[in-house]
Structure 1
Amino acid sequence: MTTTLRLGHRRSRPRVDRLIAGRLPVFVALVGLMAWAVHARTRDLGAPLWIDEGISFGVAHHPLWAIPGVLRQDGAPPLFYMLLHVWTAVLGSTVRSGHVLSLLFAVLAIPAAFWATGGVFGRRAGVFAAVLVALDPFAATYAIEVRMYSMLLLMGLLATGAFLRAFVVAPGHRGWALGVAGALAAVMYTHNWGLFYVAAAGLVWLCLVAASGRPLRRQLMISGAIGFGGALVLFLPWLPIVVVQAQHTGAPWSHAPHWKSISTAFERLLGGRVPETVLLLFALAGCGQLLRADRYPAVRRAALATAGVALLTFAVAYAWSNLSSPAWALRYLVIVLAPVAIVIAAALSRAGPVAVAVLAVIFVGSWYGKPTHAAMAHKSNVAEVAQRLGPVLPAGVQVFSTQPEEVPVLHYYLPPSTRFATPLGRVADAGVMDWRDAMARLDRPEAATTFAQVLRRLRSGQQLLLVQPRFSAPSAPWTRRIRQLARRVQHDRLADPTVRVIDSVLPQHGFGRATVSALLLERQPASGQ
C-alpha cells in the first residue's frame, strides 16, 4: 500500500478559477526565463571551440554503435556523444549546431528545476529554482559548450526530483521508484561524476530508511531496491568499460583538490563570492521555517535529503580525487548545482518577499552579462590559427602538437588531409584523444625526442606546422610535463639552422590551458645546394 506524505498544504483541491490564477503566472514566468536564456546565449552560439569541444565532435563523428568502443580511450560515458552523433547527422557538424544542442538542454533545465522543486516545496520555491538555473553564470557558461554539462544539469534535476518523490513525498510509489532507476542511469551514462551523485543518493536513502518507522521503512526499502537496483541493471552493460577506463584513462591533467578548492568550488557554483555569500545567508534565514519539524515533517525530510545529496556528492568526489585518481574539475560541479539550486530555492521561498528583491539585486549587480562575450570568444585561439594559416597550408601537411589533446580541435578546423603527430607519436585517429596510460607514455624518454625525429624527416621545401601550448601556471603532472616537452621542442627547432619560420600566429588574449601559438616551418635547402 502506498503512503503519500502531505507537505504542509492546508487546502484541498483548489477551485478552477484559483487553479488558473495560480498556474498562469507560473507559466508566464517559466516561458519568460526560457526566452531570456535563449536570448542571452544567442550572440555566443558561434564562439570558437576549445579542446574538449573538439573531442566531442571527434567522438561523435564515429559510427553510432562504434562510439562506446571509441570511449575506451577517452574515459567518458556514451550518452551525450551518441545524442550529438544523431543531432549532427540531422543538423550538421557546425559550431552553431553543436552549441544549440547544449542550449536546448540548458533551456529544458529551467522547467525541470521548477518541476523538481515545486512539487515538493511549493510553487514559489519552484519558480525560485527555475530563476537560479536560468540566471546563474556557472550554468550559463556551459549552456553553449559542446559538452555534456548542461545535459548533466538537466538529468541531475530530474533525478533529484524523482528521488524526493519516491522516498519523501510518496514512499512506496512504484512509478516514482522506476523513475529514479531511469534518472539515475541517465546521470551515470552522461558523466562519470554521476557515479558520485548516485553514491550520495544511496547514502541519503539509507539514512531515510534508518530514520523511519517499521511500515515506512519497508516501503522505502522496496522503493530503493527498485530505484537503485533498476539503475544498476540499466548501467550493467557499460560497467565493464568503466572498469577499463578506471584502470587506464584517468585524468592526469587534473589535480587533487585541497581545502581552498572547497571555497573556490562554491564561489564558482553560485556565480561569485558576493552572490554566494548573499544567497547562502538569506537561504539560512529561511531554513528556520523550512526545518520546523512540528509543522511540516515531510518538508524537513525533503530539505535535509536534498542538502545531503548535494554535500555528499561533493564530498565523495573530493575524497575520490584525493584518495584515488584525481578527477577534479570545476565544470564537473554542475551535477552538484542541481540539488544545491533546489535546496537554496526551497529556503528562499520561506524567507518572504525579500527573497525576490535579493535575487533581483544579485542578478543586476553580479550575474547580468556573465559569462561575458569576451570570455566565450577567447576560450581557445585554435579557430584563429586555422583561419590564418589553413588557406596557405599545402595538402597533407603535418602538424606537430606538443599538447596531444589539442589534436581533435585542430582536426576540426584544419583541412581534412592534415596529418598529426604529438610527443606520443603519430596520431591514428585525430578525432579522439587516447588517454590510456597517457601519463606513463608521456614520461617515456622517446616522448622527448619525437619532434626531433619529425624534424629530421622534413625534406627540403617541405612544411611543418608546430602548435605549442601557452600555459600560464601549469599545476597538474600532465601540464607540467607538457611544458617541459614544449621547451625541448623549442630547443630542437632552434638547433636546426635549415628550418625557418615562414608564418606564425601568436595568442592575443592572454594565456590559458587552451591557448596555443602556431609556427609554420619550412626546411630550407642546405648551403651549397
Structure 2
Amino acid sequence: MGVISNNNLDEQLFQRLQTSRNVLVRLVRQPWLWGIVLLASAVRFYGSTVSAIWCDEGSSLMLSNYTLSGIWFHAAHDVHPPLYFMLLHGWIALFGDSLASIRALSVLPGIASVFLGMWLVRLIATQRAALLAGILLALLPTAVRYSQEVRMYSLLGMWLIAATIALVYWVKSPQKNRYLVIYTLLMTAAFYTHYFTAFCVIAHWLYLLLLSTRNSVAGALIKRPAWWISNAAIVVLFAPWLPGLADLLQHMDELKAGGDVGWESPVDARALPSMIWQVLMQSEGTKIPGPLFWLAPSVLFAGAVWVAVRDNTPYKFHALIVIYTLLPILLIYAISFASPMFIERYVTFAALGLPLIVAIAVDRLLKHRRALAISVFALFLGVECVGLRGNLTGDVDRFDQLVAHVNQQFLPGDRIIVSDLFWYFSYVYYNKTNVQPMLYTPPTPEGLSGRPTAYGFGTLVNADGAKIYVDHLADLPAAQGRIWLVSSSVQPDDFAPIPAGWDKTQDLTINDTQVRLYLTCGADNCGRDPKGSLFDGSVHP
C-alpha cells in the first residue's frame, strides 16, 4: 500500500485500517521502511568506534566483568539497576570486548527504536506520518549519540517505545490481556534498566486519566482490573531489587560526597530551551541569537500542545505521544530546581517522541497548509543535520592513544598511578601491561580520607583498595622505580607537589589528559630495559 495522501480519505475506512491486526505486516512490506532502517544503521555505526571509552562507559565495562551475582551486588551500590550490565556481561562473553562489539550493544537498540517509532506512528496516524517520523527519528542527534555509548540509555528508549506500542494495542483491544502481559514485561525490563522509567509510568497513567474524562468505552480503561493487575505485577517483578534501592537511598550522602550524584549544575529559566537545543543540535544554544534561542523551542512546545489538543480521535493517541514526550522532560526539569538532574542523557528516552510529534503535525498540515508543512519538516530536518554533523565532526577524545603510549613504553617494574576515578575506569579498559593501575587518593583539604566509599563508583574498586590506593606519592618506595602519572592536563596539577628527587623524563598531553614518566632513582639504576639499554625518554604518541 502506498503512502496515504488522499485528503478525502474516508475517516471510517481510516479507523478500520488503524485497528487492523495487520498494521505491522503491511508496514514491514514497505521498501521505504527498510531504507530508513538502513539510514539509521549507517549513522549509528559510522564513527561508533572513533571516540575513546570515557568514565561512565569504563564503569559499565568494569561492572560487567563480575559474575551475575557480583553485578547484582555492585549495581545495588551503584546508581543504576543491573539489567544493562548483565546483558553487557553476556554480550562480551559471546562477541568479545572490542570497541566495535561493546558499542554495538547500544547501536542495535537505537536502530530498533527507529523501527518501533515508525510502528507506533503507523498505529496512530497515517503511513505518510510513519515515513516522516522514521526519517526524523533516524537522524535525531541525541538518539544517535547515545546509541554509540556503552551505557543503558539507548536500551531504555527501546523498552519504553515498545511498551507504549503495547499500551496502544491494549487500548484498542482491552479484552486482549496478552497486550498487558507484554506491557508488564517491557516496563519491568525498563525499570531494571533505569529508574527514570517511573516518569514514563506517570505519562501512561496521565494518558488513561485523560481518556477517563471522555464519555466512551475508552474512558473506563483506567478502572479495569487488568490495568491495575498489570501495574501491580510490575511492582512485584521489581520487588527483588527494592532492598538494594532502599539501601542506596540511605547512603545518598556518600554518593554525593563521591560525586556520583549531585554533580549536576543547577537549572534556571534558560535550561529548558537549552535542553531542546542540546537534543536537536548537540549544542546548548549559547551562540544562538537570543530571540531565536527562546522562539524555536517555544514554537516546538506549542506545536506539540496543538497536536494534542486537536486530536479528536476516540483514543487520543496523538495526545499520548505528546504526554510521553513532554511530561518527563518538564517533570525532570521541575525536580531539578530542588535536586539537579536535568541532563541530556536522562531525557533522551522522552526526546525520542519529538520527531514523532513533528511528523504527525506535518502530516496534518499537508492537507491544508502544504507550504507550511514542508517548511516545518525542512527546518526540523535541517537542525537535526547540523547536530548530526557536530556529532560526526566534533572533537574526538583520544585517551586511548595516551594509554597506548604507556603500553608501548612500559617496562617490568613500572608503576602506573591515575589521579581520578574519572580516568581510572577508561585506563583499565585500554591497559595492556598486565599491571593493575593504582589510584591517587590524597586526603581532602579538611584532612579527611580521599578514598572512595563503598557506594557509587567506589564499589568497583574498594575490594582492591589495599593494593591500588595511593594517599601520598612520597609513601611509594623510591629505589628501582619508574612511575607513570596519568591526570588531567588542566591546572592545578592533580599530583602536586611531586616528591623531591623524582626526575621527569617524559610529558605527553593528548586532549585534556597527560601522562608523565618519573624516575625515582638515578638513570643508571632504573632507566635500563631488561636487555640493559638505556631508556632514551623519547615520546611516541
TM-score, structure 1 as length reference: 0.78
Say whether 1:266 aligns with 2:276. yes
Q: CA deviation at 1:37?
A: 2.3
Q: Which moved more, 1:413-422 or 1:352-361?
A: 352-361
How far, CA to CA, are the matches of 2:294 and 2:129 in structure 1? Answer: 18
Letter of the 1:463 counterpart: R
SS in 2 for 1:465: strand
Letter of the 2:263 counterpart: W
SS in 2 for 1:190: coil
CA deviations on 1:158-206 (whole Å, 9 max, x unpaired) are 1222233434x34454222223222222221112222333234334434
How far, CA to CA, are the matches of 1:244 and 1:367 in structure 2? Answer: 44
Letter of the 1:455 counterpart: A
Q: CA deviation at 1:39?
A: 2.3
Higher RCO structure (Cα 8 Å, ≥6 apart): 1
Say whether 1:90 aligns with 2:94. yes
How far, CA to CA, are the matches of 2:119 and 2:364 in structure 1? Answer: 18
**Aligned ranges for residues 312-351 of structure 1 at < 5 Å?**
312-324=327-339, 326-351=340-365
Q: CA deviation at 1:456?
A: 2.7
SS in 1 for 2:510: coil
Structure 2 match to 1:516 = 513
**Aligned ranges for residues 303-382 of structure 1 at < 5 Å?**
303-324=318-339, 326-352=340-366, 354=371, 355=373, 358-360=376-378, 362-363=380-381, 366-367=384-385, 369-375=388-394, 378=396, 380-382=397-399
Q: CA deviation at 1:60?
A: 1.2
Say whether 1:422 aligns with 2:440. yes
Contact (CA 8 Å) 1:34, 1:107: kept in 2 or not? yes
SS in 2 for 1:257: coil
Structure 1 match to 2:313 = 297
- Which of 150, 153, 165 in structure 2 is aligned with 1:149? 153
CA deviations on 1:124-148 (whole Å, 9 max, x unpaired) are 2222222222011111112221111
Say whether 1:125 aligns with 2:143. no
CA deviations on 1:95-129 (whole Å, 9 max, x unpaired) are 11112221111111111001122112232222222
Contact (CA 8 Å) 1:266, 1:276: kept in 2 or not? no
Contact (CA 8 Å) 2:40, 2:138: kept in 1 or not? yes
Q: Which moved more, 1:183-192 or 1:356-365?
A: 356-365
SS in 1 for 2:352: helix
Contact (CA 8 Å) 2:154, 2:349: kept in 1 or not? no
Q: Which runs of 5+ in 2 are unaligned?
A: 1-9, 286-291, 444-451, 459-468, 525-541
Letter of the 1:298 counterpart: P
Q: CA deviation at 1:490?
A: 4.1
SS in 1 for 2:503: strand
Say whether 1:492 aligns with 2:497. yes
SS in 2 for 1:421: strand
How far, CA to CA, are the matches of 2:392 and 2:310 in structure 1? Answer: 44
CA deviations on 1:23-77 (whole Å, 9 max, x unpaired) are 4797222211121222234441322211111111111111133211121332111
How far, CA to CA, are the matches of 2:437 and 2:129 in structure 1? Answer: 54
When residues 526 and 287 of structure 1 are mapped into structure 2, their CA distance, relative to the original with a 3 A threshold, is closer
When residues 516 and 205 of structure 1 are mapped into structure 2, their CA distance, relative to the original with a 3 A threshold, is farther
**Aligned ranges for residues 135-146 of structure 1 at < 5 Å?**
135-146=139-150
When residues 123 and 290 of structure 1 are mapped into structure 2, their CA distance, relative to the original with a 3 A threshold, is farther
How far, CA to CA, are the matches of 2:57 and 2:201 in structure 1? Answer: 26
Q: CA deviation at 1:348?
A: 2.3
Letter of the 1:49 counterpart: I
- Which of 483, 506, 510 in structure 1 is aligned with 2:509? 506
Structure 1 match to 2:112 = 108
Letter of the 1:321 counterpart: S
How far, CA to CA, are the matches of 2:322 and 2:233 in structure 1? Answer: 24
SS in 1 for 2:192: helix
Contact (CA 8 Å) 2:413, 2:482: kept in 1 or not? no
Letter of the 1:62 counterpart: Y
How far, CA to CA, are the matches of 1:309 and 1:246 in structure 2? Answer: 27
Q: Which moved more, 1:344-353 or 1:61-70?
A: 344-353
When residues 65 and 520 of structure 1 are mapped into structure 2, their CA distance, relative to the original with a 3 A threshold, is same
Q: CA deviation at 1:89?
A: 0.6
Q: CA deviation at 1:156?
A: 2.2
**Aligned ranges for residues 180-195 of structure 1 at < 5 Å?**
180-195=183-198
How far, CA to CA, are the matches of 2:207 and 2:306 in structure 1? Answer: 21
Contact (CA 8 Å) 1:77, 1:192: kept in 2 or not? yes
Letter of the 1:411 counterpart: V
How far, CA to CA, are the matches of 1:315 and 1:282 in structure 2? Answer: 14
Q: CA deviation at 1:212?
A: 4.1
How far, CA to CA, are the matches of 1:407 and 1:253 in structure 2? Answer: 18
When residues 38 and 424 of structure 1 are mapped into structure 2, their CA distance, relative to the original with a 3 A threshold, is farther
When residues 120 and 396 of structure 1 are mapped into structure 2, their CA distance, relative to the original with a 3 A threshold, is farther
Structure 2 match to 1:221 = 223
When residues 327 and 84 of structure 1 are mapped into structure 2, their CA distance, relative to the original with a 3 A threshold, is same
SS in 2 for 1:505: strand
- Which of 385, 399, 402 in structure 2 is aligned with 1:385? 402
When residues 348 and 422 of structure 1 are mapped into structure 2, their CA distance, relative to the original with a 3 A threshold, is farther
How far, CA to CA, are the matches of 1:113 and 1:256 in structure 2? Answer: 32
Q: CA deviation at 1:436?
A: 1.8
How far, CA to CA, are the matches of 1:9 and 1:242 in structure 2? Answer: 49
Identity %: 20
Report the count of equivalent residues: 470
How far, CA to CA, are the matches of 1:307 and 1:491 in structure 2? Answer: 52
When residues 345 and 361 of structure 1 are mapped into structure 2, their CA distance, relative to the original with a 3 A threshold, is closer
CA deviations on 1:484-523 (whole Å, 9 max, x unpaired) are xx74744311xx3311222222134xxxxxx422222221
When residues 302 and 24 of structure 1 are mapped into structure 2, their CA distance, relative to the original with a 3 A threshold, is closer
How far, CA to CA, are the matches of 1:438 and 1:89 in structure 2? Answer: 23
SS in 1 for 2:365: coil
How far, CA to CA, are the matches of 1:83 and 1:120 in structure 2? Answer: 32
When residues 193 and 330 of structure 1 are mapped into structure 2, their CA distance, relative to the original with a 3 A threshold, is same
